[in-house]
A and B are shown apart, each in its own frame.
Chain A
Amino acid sequence: MRHYFSDAPKTALQASYWVFVIYLLLPLTLMMAMSFKDANFIAFPIGDWTLGWYAKVVQDKQFLEASGYSIFIALMTTIFATIMGVWIALLISAEGIWGRAAIFAFACLPAVVPGLINAISMRIFIRVLDIPTGTGAIILGHTVHAVPFVVIMVLTRLRSMPNNLIDAARDLGADSFIAFIRITIPFLAPALVGGMIFCVLTSIDDFVRTFFLGGYQPTLPMLIFAKVQGGMSPEINAMATLVLIVTAAVGLYAEHFTRRSRT
């Protein structure tokens, strides 16, 4: 009897887990399924199935251009955000720095400010500085948003770095530049890879910043948004499914990589 009672909550918890998994996966599964519908409107039941939408999407010039543009922005964002993130993290972890907590707080500011406010303040900022909207502004906006996350990841890793590694390198004749390149950077590698993949994914996914900072050339989310607003067809589902598969594969690789390097 006692056994029965102690098991009941467990079963309930297990059920809640699976219900939640279904809740998370169901909309995306439906969205993917709809991309195979052989009709030019979105509605259940699906009825006839086709691969035609995919054939159309992979030949769609707009889609290919938007993909290339998104990837370019993501790569630029990643490069700048990684450099600045590591730099700020090194500053915060340096010895004898005054006001460390304040620097950390301000370094994290763009991550705690709600996304819309972040985007709007950046829109005002580039207007004040006379920077035109478009590619440069998007990259700037994405970079500022990504830097705090790189800082946090790198700082976490730096805290577990033994001080004597650098001292040993210095004793063996390396100056601090060499020590940085040969000791610190390799030690940070897992955090760097994790941070970079995070930068790529958030930049490719970003909607609100691109919405305010972008020019006439659409990124992937902007293209999908425009298509959703312009009348829905399963073509959007095929597009979104392709994007989803690629980003999920990158995310899965990142998860795999960081877990392997942790052990």
Chain B
Amino acid sequence: MVDSSMTETRASAPRAGPAYAGWIGKVTASGLYSATIGLVANSARAKLVLLLAVPLAWIVLLHVGPIYQMARISFLDNYPPAAEGPIHTLGNYRLFFQEPLYFLPFVRSLIFAAVVTVAALVVTYPVAYYVAKIIKPQNRTRALLLLLIPFWAGELIRTFSVIMLLANRGAVNVLLREIGFIDRPIPLLYNYFSLSFGVIYLLALYMLLPLYSAIEKIPPQLIDAAADLGAGPFQRFRRVILPLSKDGIVSGCSLVYLTSIGVFAAPLLLGGPNSVIFPEIIASLFHGSSDKWPEGAAFSILMLAVSLSTVGLFMRVAGGRSVRLM
């Protein structure tokens, strides 16, 4: 009651409210303010429009728009369309399934992403468990910080640094030769090994952090109770800890899978001719002239659809409702 009457008076009459110090005072005292922003700020409907219009326009135009345009172009037979008007076709999608040169790298990419995801999970799970449950709480932030440091280096710098380790005259090969283990360098670089090594190196944090926050929430009493009831370390892990950290596993895996499907710098720098994955194929269609754009758009749509539905299915099957990606 009181509130609505106050709003009315404020909306109709010029405001004689409190004066403010600093720039806010100058702004609110000006005639322009009471004519425009002040009116908007006091009218519920104007406020709603202001609140709605810009963000919705942004989301529709720039979040959905590019994907929509990509989908639209994927059905054209030529881009830019011929002068007589665009010809719509499914040919770009058909080409994908007919041409093993495109189809096989796609399958390889999906398998690659799955392998990287599982490897990252196996590698980071014990680390996350150690930080969340075994380290004393007062040291926990420091232990986490040590793991975060590398991730402040950019994608490209981290990828580049992997070369230092794996190159023919990189640290590993030189060290092995020094101890007399090998005569000639092992080819560690420019193949699937270096590619997966690099991608895991890039993405381990996306697995580690969700795992850490899920494991940290497990009440220690539950683990103690299982121990009191006679469960050994392995049984405690399998029957208590693992099920209770499921949320973290599901969101970590989804994040790593989605990101590793779209890696671009790593295959350029660490991959070789025998480890061509789908992102490189797509990118090559966008180089130079635009006559292959519709094909590239169609392939991108396929990749987007398959990766998002894989993750969606995975989250539905494994995670139920409680899981969110972020």
A residues sitting closer than 8 Å to B (CB atoms) are 5-6, 9-10, 12-14, 16-17, 20-21, 23-28, 30-31, 34, 42-45, 84, 87-88, 90-91, 94, 97, 103, 106-125, 127-128, 140, 144, 147, 152, 170, 172-178, 181-182, 201, 204-208, 211-212, 221, 224-225, 228, 232, 236-237, 240, 243-244, 247-248, 250-252, 255, 259
A13, A24, A119, A207: which contacts B130 (Cβ < 8 A)? A13
B308 pairs with A112, CB closer than 8 A: yes
Knowing A26-B165, A30-B161, the reply to whether A115 touches B127 (Cβ < 8 A) is no
What 1/0 mask marks residues of chain B from 162 to 189 whose CB sits below 8 Å from any chain A CB? Answer: 1111010111001100000000000000
A122 pairs with B64, CB closer than 8 A: no
Binds A, one of B67-75, B84-92, B99-107, B242-250: B67-75
B41 pairs with A175, CB closer than 8 A: yes
Which residues of chain B have C-beta atoms less than 8 A from A259's C-beta? 141
Of A43, A91, A237, which is in contact with the most chain B CB atoms at under 10 Å from its CB? A91
A27, A106, A140: which contacts B63 (Cβ < 8 A)? A106
Of A31, A111, A147, which is in contact with the most chain B CB atoms at under 10 Å from its CB? A31
Chief secondary structure at chain B's binding surface: helix
CB distance from B297 to the nearest CB of A (A): 6
* B116 at the A interface (CB under 8 A): no
B residues sitting closer than 8 Å to A (CB atoms) are 3, 10, 15, 17-18, 20, 24, 28, 37-38, 40-42, 47-48, 51-52, 54-56, 58-60, 62-67, 69-70, 73, 123-124, 126-127, 129-131, 134, 141, 143, 145-158, 160-165, 167, 169-171, 174-175, 201, 204, 233, 258-259, 261-265, 268-269, 279, 282-283, 286, 290, 293, 296-297, 300, 303-304, 307-308, 325-326
B171 pairs with A44, CB closer than 8 A: yes
In the complex, the chain B residue whose C-beta lies closest to that of A153 is B326
9 smallest A-B Cβ distances: which pairs? A114-B262, A205-B154, A251-B152, A43-B169, A121-B66, A125-B66, A31-B161, A27-B161, A177-B41
Which residues of chain A have C-beta atoms less than 8 A from B37's C-beta? 177
- The complex places the Cα of A8 from the Cα of B17 at a distance, in Å, of 70
- The complex places the Cα of A14 from the Cα of B165 at a distance, in Å, of 24
Given contacts A30-B164, A115-B262, 4 further A-B contacts (CB under 8 A): A44-B174, A107-B63, A205-B155, A251-B151
A115 pairs with B259, CB closer than 8 A: yes
A12, A117, A176, A211: which contacts B262 (Cβ < 8 A)? A117
- The complex places the Cα of A177 from the Cα of B293 at a distance, in Å, of 47
Which residues of chain A have C-beta atoms less than 8 A from B290's C-beta? 127
B38, B149, B265: which contacts A177 (Cβ < 8 A)? B38
A111, A147, A170, A207: which contacts B326 (Cβ < 8 A)? A111
B152 pairs with A201, CB closer than 8 A: yes
B265 pairs with A225, CB closer than 8 A: yes
A90, A208, A236: which contacts B51 (Cβ < 8 A)? A90
CB distance from B65 to the nearest CB of A (A): 6
CB distance from A145 to the nearest CB of B (A): 10
Knowing A116-B279, A121-B70, A244-B157, the reply to whether A16 touches B130 (Cβ < 8 A) is yes
In the complex, the chain A residue whose C-beta lies closest to that of B261 is A114
B259 pairs with A114, CB closer than 8 A: yes
CB distance from B104 to the nearest CB of A (A): 18
Chief secondary structure at chain A's binding surface: helix
A120 pairs with B150, CB closer than 8 A: no
Knowing A115-B259, A178-B20, A178-B24, the reply to whether A224 touches B300 (Cβ < 8 A) is no
- The complex places the Cα of A248 from the Cα of B126 at a distance, in Å, of 26
19 of the cross-chain contacts (CB-CB < 8 Å) are A20-B147, A30-B170, A31-B157, A88-B59, A107-B63, A109-B64, A122-B66, A123-B286, A124-B70, A127-B290, A147-B63, A175-B17, A205-B154, A208-B265, A212-B283, A225-B269, A228-B163, A248-B152, A248-B153
- The complex places the Cα of A22 from the Cα of B127 at a distance, in Å, of 12
B64, B169, B262: which contacts A116 (Cβ < 8 A)? B262
Of A42, A128, A175, A182, which is in contact with the most chain B CB atoms at under 10 Å from its CB? A175
CB distance from B92 to the nearest CB of A (A): 13
- The complex places the Cα of A5 from the Cα of B232 at a distance, in Å, of 10
- The complex places the Cα of A206 from the Cα of B17 at a distance, in Å, of 47
Which residues of chain B have C-beta atoms less than 8 A from A208's C-beta? 262, 264-265
In the complex, the chain A residue whose C-beta lies closest to that of B58 is A84
In the complex, the chain B residue whose C-beta lies closest to that of A85 is B55
